[in-house]
Amino acid sequence: MKRKWLWSTLFAGLMVVLGLSLSSEPVHAAQKTYTIGTDVTFAPFEFADKNNKYVGIDIDLMNAVAKTEGFKVDIKPLGFNAAVQALEAGQIDGVIAGMSITPERQQKFFMSSPYYQSGVVMAVAKGSKIQSLSGLRGKKVAVKTGTASADYANSVKKKYGFSVVTFDDSNNVYDNVKTNNAQACFEDKPVMQYAIATSYKGSLELAKNFKMASANNYGIAVKSSEANTLGKKINAGIKKLKANGQYDEIVAKYLGNGSEKSQAKKTAAMQETDRSFIGLLKSNWGTLMSGLGETLWLTVVGIVFATVIGVLIGLLGVVPNKFAQGLSTTFIYIFRGLPMMVLALFIYSGVPTLIGAKIPAFIAGVITLTLNEGAYTAAFVKGGISAVDGGQMEAARSLGLPWGKSMRRVILPQGVKIMIPSFVNQFIITLKDTSILSVLGLLELTQTGKIIIARNMEGFKIWAMVALIYLIIITLLTWLSNWVQKKVNA
């Protein structure tokens, strides 16, 4: 008893000592983490360097503000449109993406204090005779959707008689001019200078007789509910960074003194030294394989859920019940008829505003695949069962088997043989359809290609690599489909 009492006393004393020591330590509140969306094709403000690490003025600035103000950030490379829509839906807390401060955006979001002043410039093909707005009459002009440069182009197109073609990515805008499909493009000055200094030096130039237009300020957008928390912290951080010189250091790191020549020197180290097809493949192999892994994971998860839903809905279409048949027909009609991109954006950006809860991009992608591919699966399940001779069911029922057992024992075994090749083909279709989910910012193979191109502007070579990877995987799956079909029919 004495030994037990002694150990109890020692244990109690130890707890008291630990309690006193812990209470003497200052209590630090856990730093809050905010999710910040950004573009992936807006160098030098945000892009992936040759090591495929996200860098740029915006990235460095956001990290510096977070460090200064004592919070953490999880930066999501979603693409400009997806980031803005995600912010509207409350999926993320803020957006930093060279975002111009406009009255419309100030009505929807809290816009931070300006951190960079820019303006729109006009670029044309090297040596072009068109050097001003007056030369654009009857011509085409390329712009990037959702940007201040696109707004400017649309505001003056009637006056100067040109038409506008819109793209989601900057490299497509520049390539459109390079290939003479468009005769000019409008872009923010530092972004255009970066592109000309790095990848379009011999093919594009700034129009000599066009002065910078639509001067605008970049700001960081924050959802309105975070205006008094994250919004105030960002404004305080920007003010401190400008005062202590860190802001100027960040800008100089990517722009130098702002000239094309200076930008070329500053960004040379961020580009691949070997820009041949093999050189680019070697330097970006890991990133491409990471994108492929995400594509395959999306495909597998999507096809599993789509198969379950498709089989259930398909079976509902053949049960002797009008309500069940109507439900099956309606499901197939709606989700097979909706464009997949519209469905994906509705689930990711629209539904959260209705339910008041976030839907992660991966989950939104899986739901999209489940509903879209599930509708197609349901259609061929329903068709496969209907393809079995109706006399088979009549014969089974005449032998006294109930409908359910007749379906399981007689109809389904025959229908499955008809459906198996379609299941493999649907896997191939789902694999290709994952590319559409890049609009949600998922880092699958297509989005990975966009990110790489944003840095090196080697659109033809990188898309050739992406196409080759898809072709190899789809060829292997096609061989599998043919092999399965032969085995089933043997």
* SS3 at position 64: helix
Asked if 185 contacts 176 with a C-beta cutoff of 8 angstroms, the reply is yes
Beta-bridged to residue 35, according to DSSP, are: 74
* Cβ-based neighbours of 308, under 8 Å, separated by 6 or more: 374
Spans of all domains in the chain: 33-115+217-268, 117-216, 277-489
Retrieve residue 188's tokens.
């923010």
Q: Which CATH superfamily is domain 277-489 in?
A: MetI-like (1.10.3720.10)
Does residue 259 surpass a pLDDT of 70? Answer: no
Degrees (nearest 5) of the Cα angle 77, 368, 311? Answer: 150
* SS3 at position 56: coil
Per-residue pLDDT tens digits for 176-186 = 999 999 999 99
pLDDT at 389 (0 to 100)? 63
Beta-bridged to residue 219, according to DSSP, are: 99
Other CB atoms within 10 A of residue 179 CB: 10
Question: What are the helix (H) ranges across 91-188?
Answer: 103-108, 148-160, 170-178
pLDDT at 460 (0 to 100)? 84
Tell me what the mean pLDDT of segment 262-286 comes to: 71
Model confidence at 20, in pLDDT bands (50, 70, 90)? Answer: very low
pTM (predicted TM-score): 0.72
CA atoms within 13 A on the CB side of 152: 22
Per-residue pLDDT tens digits for 430-467 = 898 998 888 887 888 988 888 888 777 777 888 999 99
Does residue 18 surpass a pLDDT of 50? Answer: no
Better-scored residue on pLDDT, 186 or 320:
186
Asked if 77 contacts 52 with a C-beta cutoff of 8 angstroms, the reply is no
Asked if 185 contacts 174 with a C-beta cutoff of 8 angstroms, the reply is yes
Q: Are strands 213-222 and 110-111 parallel, antiparallel or unpaired?
A: antiparallel
CATH 2.60.40.10 given to domain 33-115+217-268:
no
Model confidence at 156, in pLDDT bands (50, 70, 90)? Answer: very high
Asked if 123 contacts 204 with a C-beta cutoff of 8 angstroms, the reply is yes
pLDDT at 392 (0 to 100)? 59
Better-scored residue on pLDDT, 426 or 113:
113
* SS3 at position 118: strand
Other CB atoms within 10 A of residue 419 CB: 23
Per-residue pLDDT tens digits for 344-401 = 989 988 888 888 788 888 999 999 999 999 999 888 888 777 666 666 566 666 666 6
Nearest CA among 120, 122, 119, 215 for reference residue 162? 122
DSSP string, 294-342: HHHHHHHHHHHHHHHHHHHHHHHTTSS-HHHHHHHHHHHHHHHHS-HHH
Tell me, yes or no, if the two domains 117-216 and 277-489 fold the same way. no
Exposed, middle or buried, 275 (CB in 10 Å: 0-12/13-18/19+)?
middle
Retrieve residue 343's tokens.
């469905």
Q: Are strands 204-206 and 213-222 parallel, antiparallel or unpaired?
A: unpaired
Per-residue pLDDT tens digits for 62-94 = 999 999 999 999 998 888 888 888 898 888 999
Tell me what the mean pLDDT of segment 118-139 comes to: 94
CA distance 484 to 195: 49
* SS3 at position 26: coil
Asked if 381 contacts 307 with a C-beta cutoff of 8 angstroms, the reply is no
Does residue 60 surpass a pLDDT of 80? Answer: yes
CATH 3.40.190.10 given to domain 117-216:
yes
Nearest CA among 413, 402, 459 for reference residue 177? 459
Nearest CA among 57, 115, 78 for reference residue 249? 57
Model confidence at 263, in pLDDT bands (50, 70, 90)? Answer: low
pLDDT at 267 (0 to 100)? 57
CA distance 366 to 190: 38
